Amino acid sequence: MSAQIRIAVSELRLYLREPAAVAATLGLPLLIMVSFGLIVTPGGDPIYTYFPGLAISFSLAILSLNLLPTILAGYREKGILRRLYTTPVHPSKVLIGQLLVSCAVAVVMAAVVVVAGRLIGFPLPAQPLGFALAFVLGALALFSVGLLVAAIAPTGRMATAIGMLLFFVNMFTGGVFTPREALPGFLNRIGDFMPLGATMQAVRDSWNGQFPQLLHLAVLATITVVFGLAAARLFRWE
Amino acid sequence: MIARSIPRKGLPGDAFPMAVIEVEHLRKRYRDHVAVDDVSFTVERGEIFGVLGPNGAGKTTTVECVEGLRVPDAGAVRVLGLDPHRDHDALRTRIGVQFQESQLPEKMRVREALQLYSSFYADPMDWRRLLDDWGLADKANSPFGKLSGGQKQRLFIALALVGKPEIAVLDELTTGLDPQARRDTWGLVEDIRGQGVTVLLVTHFMAEAERLCDRIAVIDRGHVVALDTPAGLVSKVAAEQRIRFRPSVPVPDGLLTDLPEVTSVRQVGPQLEITGTGDVLQAVTSVLARHRIVAADLRLEQASLDDAFVALTGRKMEEVR
């Protein structure tokens, strides 16, 4: 087994040992689908797509804006990355390992949402290709933002604080806390350009059968490239 | 420097087999201050070499240049004949490092940490053996966050050794340990050397340097102020010695003060306190014997490495912390 895979497996094990992390990223999406699936009658009015959108967006936001920056900045603060720099394995492997775990959790989460939703009575995403595209681009954009936070935050606590701020701003403007339908137009306009808002809307559109708006996909792709490159440039191992 | 000017015999292709670390006129400044001004020393294969000095003296910066974590502003560093920064990839498999205040993820278990780090090396030590050797076998399944200070320190030493390094750099390895754990750790460092590993030991504990090191570079304010064996350092500065005893009969005036070795004689209650240099004890006792005076409760106060540090830097170790 390569060092990269061993590190990823190790990171996965550490993730699974954090009950709060597992509950927020896998448990809560499942709970959202099951509970709202029982309360509302999915189908018909496209408002029902709010619930799978909420489950997916919330979990991605926790993974990318909370866990990723807190863990990576914490590793740097604790000297774990620096220590690795003196071994034959470059510390970037920890960063990649952490990203691999985040991607794996995200994929499992999306599968849980789709399957549990189907079992409880939600329709499957009506535009599967668009859904896959919205999900992948949304996850990449959000992870890029999280990596940039980890890159620029001087301490683990600062990374958590910045991440939480971004989390709430994104949840609020993105139509995740409250459905887009209930928000004023100017907030929705802002949300269109936020990583979580664009993800939320693209997921909802595809679930309802429309191909995601080009605007949202373009916003997500741009954020991925710009924030991803900035994070790669600015990331410090110590 | 010596290694360059004096040809040494050695294996073909290994120009200087004895010197494994060479630091020459190292200089490193940070934005606001000069951390290392002019540091030179050579570490020979198989020795425990101490870098001793108060906090902020430039010790850690010096070893970080040796580890390749920092690039010197001036001067040269060679480790195993390699440039630590340029040849970092080649060197990383051959040195093992323990940092000051290292940590691991709280929930990573001892066994997992050793297993993971051993997978980084092409020819690692058996991590199960390291568990036994370092007294961690019964802690194999404990998470890092639940270990005591001594157990953490042993784990980090084990991690520094898992790649079978030729050089182990140990930075402040007993800071924060209780006296018993500290003593235990010293024994373990001697074991490392026993396995043929060269040890570069950074410390601000006099007792630690005195006990462990073959040679010590004393660093203060970015300079090497002395480089010698512990005994050599002490003898260099131990010019002044103090003898105390209770004479059986009063000592006539001038009997001791006339001795060239004696600098002062003082009556302290029933006792005489004599300070002097060189072989003052021998001189005093032979004069007393000649005059049939018995020196009861005779005590000789000798200099320690602590005194050596004061003499070398003009400051006490505690004052500069």
Q: Looking at beta carbons, which residues of chain B come within 8 Å of A17?
A: 107
The pLDDT assigned to B40 comes to: 94
Whether residues B84 and B147 share a domain: the answer is yes
- Indicate the residue type of B185: T
Mean per-residue pLDDT, A167-190: 94
Contact: B108, A86; criterion CB under 8 Å: no
**pLDDT at residue B230, as a whole number:** 86
Contacts of B92 in chain A (CB under 8 A): 86-88
Instruction: Please tell me which of the candidates A13, A75, A88 has its beta carbon nearest to residue B92.
Output: A88
Residue A215: its pLDDT value, please? 97
**Range name among A149-163, A174-188, B15-29, B203-217 with the lowest pLDDT average:** B15-29
Residue A127 makes CB contacts below 8 A (sequence gap 6+) with A205, A206, A207, A208, A209, A210, A211, A212
Task: Return the structure tokens found at B299.
Answer: 């005590």
Q: How far, rounded to the nearest angstrom, does the alpha carbon of residue A89 sit from its chain's CA centroid? A: 27
Q: Do both B262 and B222 map to the same domain?
A: no
The bridge status of strand B271-276 relative to strand B262-268 is antiparallel
Q: Do B108 and A10 touch (CB under 8 A)?
A: yes
What is residue B239's predicted lDDT score, i.e. its pLDDT?
62
pLDDT value for B13? 43
Say which amino acid occupies B62. T
- Percentages helix, strand, coil for chain B, rounded to the nearest 5? 30, 30, 40
Task: Indicate whether B182 belongs to any domain.
Answer: yes
Q: What integer pLDDT is reported at residue B305 of this predicted model?
A: 72
- Could you say which of A10, A75, A85 has the minimum Cβ distance to residue B116? A10
**3-state SS, residue B143:** strand
**Is residue B316 in a domain?**
no
- Interchain pair A87, B68: CB under 8 A: no
Q: Indicate whether B185 belongs to any domain.
A: yes
Q: What is the CATH number of the domain that holds B293?
A: 3.30.70.100
Q: Residue B98 is part of a domain; what is its CATH number?
A: 3.40.50.300
B199 and B288 belong to one structural domain:
no
- Residues B83, B184, single domain; the answer is yes
Residue B318 is predicted with a pLDDT of 53
Residue of A nearest to B112 (CA): A10
Residue-wise DSSP of A183-230 = S-HHHHHHHHTSHHHHHHHHHHHHHTTSPPPHHHHHHHHHHHHHHHHH
Distance CA A56, CA A131 (A): 11
Chain B interface, best mutation among A70, A83, A85, by max B CB count within 10 A: A83
A143 CA: distance to closest CA in chain B (Å): 21
CB contact under 8 A, A86 and B117: no
What CA–CA distance (Å, rounded) separates A60 from A99?
A: 12
Q: State the best of A11, A22, A87, A93 to mutate against chain B, taking most chain B CBs within 10 Å.
A: A87
* Whether A80 and B105 lie within 8 Å, measured CB to CB: yes
Cβ <8 Å between A14 and B105: yes
Residue B313 in domain: no
B51 shares its domain with B158 = yes
Say yes or no: B206 and B225 in one domain.
Answer: yes
Greater confidence (A17 vs B261) lies with: A17
A117 near A37, Cβ under 8 Å? Answer: yes
Nearest residue to B159 via CA among B106, B201, B222, B117: B117
Mean pLDDT by 10 residues, chain B (321 residues): 39 58 93 90 94 87 92 94 92 90 92 95 92 92 93 91 94 82 87 91 86 92 90 72 88 86 87 84 89 88 72 62 40
Contact of B40 with B25, CB cutoff 8 Å: yes
Asked if residue B309 is part of any domain, the answer here is: no
Residues B139 and B62 in one domain: yes
Q: Which chain B residues in 120-179 lie under 8 Å from chain A, judged by CB atoms?
A: 120-122, 163
**B139 & B44 share domain:** yes
Mean pLDDT of A33-57: 88
Residue B176 Cα, gap to closest chain A Cα (Å): 17
Using a CB–CB cutoff of 8 Å, tell me whether B67 touches chain A. yes
pLDDT (0 to 100) of residue B1: 37
Interface test with A, best of B95, B103, B121 (most A CBs within 10 A): B103
Structural domain total, chain B: 2
Q: Is residue B254 part of a domain?
A: yes
- Residues of chain A found within 8 Å of residue B120, distances taken between Cβ atoms: 3, 87-89
How high is the pLDDT of residue B24? 94
pLDDT, residue B178, reads 82
pLDDT averaged over chain A?
94
Interchain proximity B163–A6, CB inside 8 Å: no
What's the pLDDT tens digit per position in B57-96? 889 899 999 999 899 999 999 999 999 989 999 999 999 9
The amino acid present at B28, given as its one-letter code, is: K
Task: Pick the range with the lowest mean pLDDT from A34-38, A137-141, A217-221, B3-7.
Answer: B3-7
- Name the DSSP letter for residue B82: B
Contact (CB<8Å) B107/A83:
no
Contact B102 A83 (CB under 8 A): yes
**Residue A97, CB half-sphere, CA atoms under 13 Å: how many?**
25
Q: How far is residue A225 from each of residues A179, A214, A232, B90, B284, measured CA to CA in Å? A: 28, 16, 10, 33, 84
Query: Which residue in chain B is spatially nearest to A82 when comparing CA positions?
Result: B69
For A10, the closest of B97, B112, B163 (CB atoms) is B112
Between the two ends of chain B, the Cα-to-Cα distance in Å is 32
| Mean pLDDT score, A24-32 | 97
pLDDT digits (tens, 9 = 90+) for B172-203: 888 777 888 888 888 888 988 888 899 999 98
- Cβ B297 vs Cβ B227: under 8 Å: no
In a domain, B41, yes or no: yes
Across the interface, whether the CB atoms of A79 and B103 are under 8 A apart is answered: yes
Residue B172 counted as domain residue: yes
Helices assigned H by DSSP within A17-155:
19-22, 28-39, 50-61, 68-77, 80-85, 92-120, 128-152
Beta-carbon separation of B69 and A238 below 8 A: yes
- Is the domain of B216 the same as that of B251? no
Are the Cβ atoms of A10 and B101 closer than 8 angstroms? no
Contacts of the segment A180-189: beta carbons below 8 A, 24+ positions apart: A180/A50, A180/A204, A181/A47, A181/A50
Which domain, by its residues, includes A206? 3-234
Supply the range of the domain harboring residue B185: 2-229
For chain A, the distance separating the N- and C-terminal CA atoms, rounded to the nearest angstrom, is: 27
pLDDT in the model for residue B253: 78
Number of domains in chain A: 1
HSE of B115 in the Cβ direction (CA atoms, 13 Å)? Answer: 12
With H, G, I as helix, E, B as strand and everything else as coil, classify residue B32: coil
Do residue B122 and residue B194 come from a single domain?
yes
- Please indicate, yes or no, whether residues B225 and B287 belong to a single structural domain of this protein: no
